[in-house]
Amino acid sequence: MALGCTKDNCTVAETGICLAENPPETCPFRMKAPADGPVASPEPPLPRPERNPSLPHSRALTPQLAQDLMADRYCTLVGILGDPDAGKTAALVSIYLLASKAKLKEFSFADSRTLMAFNEISQVALDWNEDDPPDQFTQHTELADDRMPGFLHLRLRHGEEEKIDFLLPDLPGEWSQSFIDKDRKDRLRFLNRADVIWLLMDGSQLREPSTRQYVVHRMQLLIDRLRASIDHVPPLVLVLTRRDGGEVPAYFIEPIVQEAEQQNLQISVAQIASFGDRGDVDPGYGLEALMRTCRPDVPDRTPTWPTPGPDIEEGRAILRYRHPEHRL
């Protein structure tokens, strides 16, 4: 029969010697053991957690963390596609810097769950000397997991009361290339939930005769892929970057717009300059107008089950619905 004691620091179970110098068999402090087995261990004070606790993610949000945020409140999800060096990351950096310096007239910074991710991608732009700008303001996007996108979160205040949560994916340009060339769409499934898709193009390549036809053809193929891959394609915005190098004439853009219209897709055009390192265009040119493309006009009293019409595509009506609580 096992020995045990109710007194602290007693070693009778290990040594067989009672701390109170009583015979172990008759000691009044002895722990009674059941006749058919040893002394039962006490119950643990707390159950073991099912998984180790994790701290909030401080860099880009994973799809699961983005989904958790969208379950908590309405988020405006923006799809951002374009070839490498089209200016996708530069646009995100410029939006963040403008918001942090209160230079977006209609929007003001409210919160972000990915400040470290924004700071990481904008570090070069924050450090550059105005008299000696770097050759490249942002680094090439590389994801830790090549199979999952990363989302940047930015909460902006619009007007006096409304707050808007934006989810902005920072994707490598190679993802858009593989989508066009190999129909690699498994990593872009989040586009089915997007409120708007920005298609970024290097405006300097459109202005240059030697590259114009090639980049127009690539963008037409990208639009075709989107039409075939998404049941209800949201509004598209053709975003021409590097506006500081000059404006792209409308007739250079017309073949792309016609391709989208032939596919019965809604498309608009925006020209932006994320950084004004040449010409007389201010840094951040056109970005506030670009942010407004994420916010289609929604009446204050939206019906609970809106009827699909010319302004709301069938099948996406419930995604367009915003309860008044989602405006806070």
- pLDDT digit string (tens) for 210-238? 999 999 999 999 999 999 999 899 999 99
What confidence score (pLDDT) does residue 253 get?
Answer: 96
| 47 is a domain residue | yes
Co-location of 88 and 176 in the same domain: yes
Domain boundary among 34, 53, 72: 53
Greater model confidence, 51 or 67: 67
Co-location of 137 and 284 in the same domain: yes
Give dist(CA 211, CA 188) in Å, integer.
27
Greater model confidence, 301 or 108: 108
Co-location of 31 and 146 in the same domain: no
289: pLDDT confidence band, cut at 50, 70 and 90? very high
Co-location of 186 and 117 in the same domain: yes
Residue 39 exposed, middle or buried by CB count within 10 Å (0-12, 13-18, 19+): middle
Strands 196-202 and 76-81, bridge-based pairing:
parallel
Q: Are 202 and 246 within 8 A, CB to CB?
A: no
Co-location of 96 and 207 in the same domain: yes
User: What length is written for the chain?
Assistant: 328
Average pLDDT over residues 186-196: 92
| 302 is a domain residue | no
Co-location of 10 and 135 in the same domain: no
Residue 309 exposed, middle or buried by CB count within 10 Å (0-12, 13-18, 19+): exposed
Co-location of 43 and 104 in the same domain: no
Co-location of 98 and 30 in the same domain: no
Greater model confidence, 17 or 324: 17
Residue 194 contacts by C-beta under 8 Å, 6 or more apart in sequence?
Answer: 77, 78, 79, 234
Co-location of 38 and 141 in the same domain: no
Total domain count, the chain: 2
| 41 is a domain residue | yes
How many other β-carbons are positioned within 10 Å of the β-carbon of residue 154? 25
pLDDT in tens, 129-185: 454 444 444 444 444 445 578 899 999 998 777 899 999 998 888 999 999 999 999
| Residue 202 φ/ψ, nearest 5 degrees | -75, 110
Its domain, for residue 48, covers 1-53
Task: Assign 157 to helix, strand or coil.
Answer: strand
Could you give the angle at the alpha carbon of 99 between the alpha carbons of 96 and 101, nearest 5°?
A: 110
| 301 is a domain residue | no
Locate tokens 């809106």: which residue?
306
Co-location of 85 and 175 in the same domain: yes
Q: And the tokens for 46?
A: 């707390």
Co-location of 248 and 281 in the same domain: yes
CATH number, domain with residue 210: 3.40.50.300
Return the minimum-mean-pLDDT range out of 12-21, 275-284, 306-315: 306-315
| 75 is a domain residue | yes
What confidence score (pLDDT) does residue 211 get?
Answer: 94
| 58 is a domain residue | no
Co-location of 73 and 179 in the same domain: yes
Residue 21 has pLDDT above 90, yes or no: no
